[in-house]
Structure 1
Amino acid sequence: MKKPLVSLLSLALAFTVVSPSLSAEGSAESQATVEFTAPTEPVAPVNPEDPTQPNPDAGDAGNITGQEGPLSLDYVSHLDFGNQIISTSQEVYEATTDLPYIQVSDLRGTGEGWEVIAQVSHFNNEGIDSLPGSSIQLNNGDAVSTSTTDGPGVTQAINLETNGEAANIATATAKDESGVLNTAQGLGTWVMRWLSDSTSETNDNVTLTIPGSSASAGSHEATITWTLSSTPDGTEG
């Protein structure tokens, strides 16, 4: 006996799956917020060979300045040129300092740029100016950081004459006309370093030049003054 057509249609409809509607009924917006404040605590020296690591020996090899942020000169190395023999000829002595570097932190969050200059005093031996005409050379320096932004430009051939004349060490330019922060150089903590190109015990990129017959017996010491300044217009000054 044949089943009624209406019964078959009812059975088919019972197994039909109805898909839900995917059309949007409306939209709304919400906000995500965060606020940053420039830090004021000093930044500890980092390892110049690996800036992700601290430098526990920094206090023995230089000056931990303790300068508070947000723009700070954190560390400057001492430079040692060893024990030398008086010579009648001009001599160039390589530094015995293992890892000479300076460290700058720019945590202002403004992208204004900065500059470091240096000056060297006359050498002094027991209260008397000494080693006339001498100078210190810093060559082939570079800048390293954990920052992903562009680094400062390091002057490649620096000659520090012992007459107090200032020389540029490094310059980080300010953000460009777009005003975007990461177009500035030198954001974060940066190490400017002068590491040796050789495997010898002395550093061929940090040298002391002494004119012939100008050295006197005894210990001689000069003061290097490193000065960090903000350069809002991105120029040296």
Structure 2
Amino acid sequence: MNLKKISLACLVTAIAFGFSNSSVLAVDPNTANTMGKVTFSEDASPTAPLDPLDPNVDKPIKPTDPDIGSGTAGPLSIDYISNFHFGNQLISAEDRTYNVKLDVIKTADGKNVERAPFVQVTDKRGSNNGWTLQVRQKTPFLTSGAKELKGAYLSLMNPVVKTTKDNQAAPPEAEAKKIILTPGKSGSAGDVKTVLTAKRNTGMATWIESFGNNQSGPSSVQLFVPGISEKIKDATYSAILTWILVDSPVN
């Protein structure tokens, strides 16, 4: 008996709802629908580097180092990478650790300012698949005559990750507080080290990793040189670092 009452009540409600809709439609039959549409395509144009101290100043900066290139193009790009300069040092028979020189960049208003060394990555693919930034030391520190600064190695420390205030994407993760780069032997490149990892649905838009800040920047990129390593007077030693941007997270 109770079951029948419940069923009847439901049926009455459904019928009443149907009549209510019919009466509303009958009042104003002159209606029509339109649509709004938008399609997004990949933006393959280069992305200008921003000020790593304050990326929210939405104006590009320019490097003053003539050896810094314009970055890579494409929807997933490396927009800027600092060169590491350690200046002119005295020859020493003891182990020495040298601090990097701060970058000098030109701001949008034309001022030259110092910044901690940094790298900038932009993801405009629209796939949200994530990415990985890696680095390896391709060559030892060599003179123009191929004399090696034996035993020397680089350390990258104190990662600081920033983006613009309007970017709501989850940040990529700095992989380690300290990365040590050593060149390979017998002409082979050194081991690949992961710098930043953006997992799926993270790392979209523009991201900057600085090594330290304006105070700690010099000691956040260091060159160690053994005292027993031969050093040629007035010779400049250079090493090549290769930065690799992989279009997916690397475990």
Q: Indicate the TM-score class for this superposition, using the shorter chain for normalisation.
A: 0.7 to 0.9
Q: 1:215: Cα distance to partner?
A: 4.2
Q: Matches of 1:100 and 1:83 in 2, distance apart?
A: 18
Q: 1:89: Cα distance to partner?
A: 2.1
The Cα offsets for residues 200-237 of structure 1, whole Å up to 9 and x where unpaired, read as xx711111111122141221111111111111xx333x
Q: 1:59: Cα distance to partner?
A: 4.8
Q: 1:28: Cα distance to partner?
A: 7.5
The Cα offsets for residues 45-76 of structure 1, whole Å up to 9 and x where unpaired, read as 11111113334332527623342221111111
Counterpart mapping for 1:83-162 below 5 A: 83-98=88-103, 99-120=116-137, 121-146=139-164, 147-154=167-174, 155-162=176-183
1:75 is aligned to 2:80:
yes
The Cα offsets for residues 16-62 of structure 1, whole Å up to 9 and x where unpaired, read as xxxxxxxx824976543221111011111111111133343325276
Q: 1:128: Cα distance to partner?
A: 1.5
1:52 is aligned to 2:70:
no
Identity level (%): 29
Q: Matches of 2:126 and 2:77 in 1, distance apart?
A: 13
Q: 1:196: Cα distance to partner?
A: 3.7
The answer (yes or no) to whether the contact 2:49–2:62 under 8 Å persists in 1 is no
1:208 is aligned to 2:234:
no
Q: Secondary structure at the match of 2:181?
A: strand
Give the equivalent residue in structure 2 for 1:25. 24
Report the residue type matching 1:223 in the other structure: I
The answer (yes or no) to whether the contact 1:140–1:205 under 8 Å persists in 2 is yes
TM-score, structure 1 as length reference: 0.76
Give the equivalent residue in structure 2 for 1:187. 204
More helix by share: 2
Unaligned runs of 5+ in 1: 1-23, 175-183
Q: Matches of 1:104 and 1:80 in 2, distance apart?
A: 22
Q: Secondary structure at the match of 1:189?
A: strand
Report the residue type matching 1:156 in the other structure: K
Q: Secondary structure at the match of 1:204?
A: helix
Q: Secondary structure at the match of 1:73?
A: strand
Give the equivalent residue in structure 2 for 1:10. none
Moved over 4 A (4+): 27-30
- After superposition, the Cα gap between the structure-2 partners of 1:205 and 1:36, relative to the gap in structure 1 and judged at 3 Å, is same
1:167 is aligned to 2:193:
yes
The answer (yes or no) to whether the contact 2:76–2:122 under 8 Å persists in 1 is yes
Report the residue type matching 1:83 in the other structure: N
- Number of residue pairs the alignment of both structures matches: 200
TM-score, structure 2 as length reference: 0.72
Q: 1:142: Cα distance to partner?
A: 1.9
Please, what is the CA RMSD of the aligned residues?
Answer: 2.2
Unaligned runs of 5+ in 2: 1-22, 26-30, 104-115, 185-189
> Which residue, out of 30, 35, 40, partners 1:36?
40
- After superposition, the Cα gap between the structure-2 partners of 1:30 and 1:168, relative to the gap in structure 1 and judged at 3 Å, is same
The answer (yes or no) to whether the contact 1:152–1:185 under 8 Å persists in 2 is yes
Report the residue type matching 1:125 in the other structure: T
The answer (yes or no) to whether the contact 1:81–1:97 under 8 Å persists in 2 is no
Q: Secondary structure at the match of 1:168?
A: strand
